[in-house]
Structure 1
Amino acid sequence: MTTHRSTTAAMPVTTTTTTDESRAADEAAIHAVLAGIYHAWDSGDADAFVAAYAEDASAILPGSHRGGREEIRRNMADGFAGFLKGSTTTNRVGRLRFLGADAAVVVSESGILLPGETEVPADRIVNATWVFERRDRGWLVAAYHNSPASAG
């Protein structure tokens, strides 16, 4: 009889199994967060806009970096009171992929319609990357970045 003995120390292994049902629920929750953000924009509500942002979230847009939910909220409130007043958005969620059990990335295309416009001008269409993280209070936006969809 041959006995095999392991000579390496056992390493703790953490595994997370994701069922199709729980993954579908996570996808639905992330889509609901995005829908809430888009609705908040269309309503001009900066508080609702950042409700699903993590406290330490970041937002990078061409020429600016906003660090933290409060800075993002302030910036959106200023925009909604100024040049973004009465604006709405067009949004198309593209790919959603999970990076483990508690993180996801969404790529989307969005545009800003100013009052009276029926079509988004090409220079206001952006490709965006959303980074989501599952935390105690659910799926939150941890980071957002956008850039013009067309280089010119």
Structure 2
Amino acid sequence: MSNEITRLWDRMADGWAAGSGEQFAAVFSQDTEFVNVRGEEQRGRDTVAAGHRALFETHYRGSTLTADVRSIRFITEHAAVVHVASTVHTADGEAIGTHAQAVVERRDGEWLISAFHNMIPAN
């Protein structure tokens, strides 16, 4: 199960590298709750896809994302809390580190992210 959950972030990074908001957001449930690094709340996979599509068309065009799943704590056999350290590497060489806490759920046999809170850690 842990490998299936970890692969969510691999798929997310693949979508980021492709510059595809839809591919990036495919790992989120349709009813996901997503809080970005600015504290803005987004609800639903389509909203997350649209927001990331806009990022990929502007400042983050040509950027990549790397993710390191730090911990997975199962709260039921179908739900877990996940902590992930990520770095966005911009096309101009900037590296932006983030930390996310996510709730993942297995629905109809598929693991998806149902809640996600991303932030830039204080130094």
**Is TM (by shorter chain) over 0.5?**
yes
- The answer on 1:104 being equivalent to 2:80 is yes
Which of these residues, 8, 16, 30, is aligned with residue 41 of structure 1? Answer: 16
| Maintained 8 Å contact 2:9/2:67 | no
Question: 1:89: how far off?
Answer: 1.5
Larger RCO: 1 or 2 (CA < 8 Å, sep 6+): 2
* 1:44 match: secondary structure: coil
| Maintained 8 Å contact 2:99/2:120 | yes
Residue in 2 aligned with 1:92? 68
Question: What is the rounded CA distance, in whole Å, between the counterparts of 2:112 and 2:28 in structure 1?
Answer: 5
Q: TM-score, normalised by structure 1?
A: 0.75
Structure number having the greater strand percentage: 2
- The answer on 1:81 being equivalent to 2:51 is no
Question: 1:72: how far off?
Answer: 0.5
Question: What is the rounded CA distance, in whole Å, between the counterparts of 2:81 and 2:105 in structure 1?
Answer: 9
Q: TM-score, normalised by structure 2?
A: 0.92
Runs of at least 5 residues in structure 2 that lack an aligned partner in the other structure: none
Question: What is the rounded CA distance, in whole Å, between the counterparts of 1:108 and 1:52 in structure 2?
Answer: 15
Greater C-alpha radius of gyration: 1
The size of the alignment, in residue pairs, is 122
C-alpha offsets along residues 10-64 of structure 1, whole Å, 9 cap, x if unaligned?
xxxxxxxxxxxxxxxx111111111101111111111111112111001102231
Report the residue type matching 1:69 in the other structure: R
Question: What is the rounded CA distance, in whole Å, between the counterparts of 1:48 and 1:90 in structure 2?
Answer: 15
> Where in structure 2 are the equivalents of 1:121-132 lying within 5 Å?
124-132=96-104
Question: What is the rounded CA distance, in whole Å, between the counterparts of 1:145 and 1:130 in structure 2?
Answer: 6
* 1:99 match: secondary structure: strand
Residue in 1 aligned with 2:111? 139
Question: What is the rounded CA distance, in whole Å, between the counterparts of 1:142 and 1:84 in structure 2?
Answer: 24
Percent of aligned pairs with the same amino acid: 28
